[in-house]
Amino acid sequence: MTSRIDHALIALRQILRATEISSRALAKQCGLTPSQLILMEMIAKSGGAAPSALAKDISLSHATVTALIDKLESRGLLQRTPDATDKRRVTVMLTEQGAAILENAPSILQQRFERGFERLEDWEQSFLVAGLERAVALLDAEELDAAPVLDVGAIGEPTG
């Protein structure tokens, strides 16, 4: 019979593999990372936003969001538009090509997790979060910088 440790390690490995497989499929299908897709979704939802607002909304650093914007802009998926009154400020908007890619992008693992998590009772959500936070502590990973994005590798680079 397998021990509880084995069950826990298997569950962690399954989460890591699911994240990796989802990231690779997204990269293969539309050449995006989960972080890039989430950023594009936020831009689409808002109709255009300042990079600082996007960074706050998706809990990434301003530098990371800027790097993601640079990468997506170089691919022609979004554009920066200077503010009419203050040229230092910009609004980021999807291009037609970006909107088309977003429309055809598959559902990512993070969206499936969010839908399932939201269906849990409050006590189940709290229990799950506490268990995951405890696992982070067991791995001495509390100090690792992490955004609320299910992605593997560097935030801006497609996997595979």
| 43-57 pLDDT per residue, tens | 999 988 999 999 888
Residue 58 — pLDDT band, cuts 50, 70, 90?
A: confident
Query: Residue 117: is its pLDDT beyond 70?
Result: yes
Query: Residue 13: is its pLDDT beyond 80?
Result: yes
In this prediction, residue 136 carries a pLDDT of 93
CATH of span 4-138: 1.10.10.10
Query: Residue 145: is its pLDDT beyond 90?
Result: no
Residue 1 — pLDDT band, cuts 50, 70, 90?
A: low
With pLDDT > 70 as the criterion, what percentage of the chain qualifies?
A: 93
- Work out the mean pLDDT of the chain and round it to a whole number: 88
Q: Is 150 helix (H, G, I), strand (E, B) or coil?
A: coil
How large is the average pLDDT for residues 127-134? 95
Residue 123 — pLDDT band, cuts 50, 70, 90?
A: very high
Domain ranges of the chain: 4-138
Query: Residue 122: is its pLDDT beyond 50?
Result: yes
Q: How many CA atoms lie within 13 A of 37 on its CB side?
A: 26
Q: Output the six-digit token pair for 62.
A: 């301003």
Please tell me the pTM assigned to this model.
Answer: 0.76
- Give the DSSP per-residue string, 17-74: HHHHHHHHHHHHHHS--HHHHHHHHHHHHHTSB-HHHHHHHHT--HHHHHHHHHHHHH
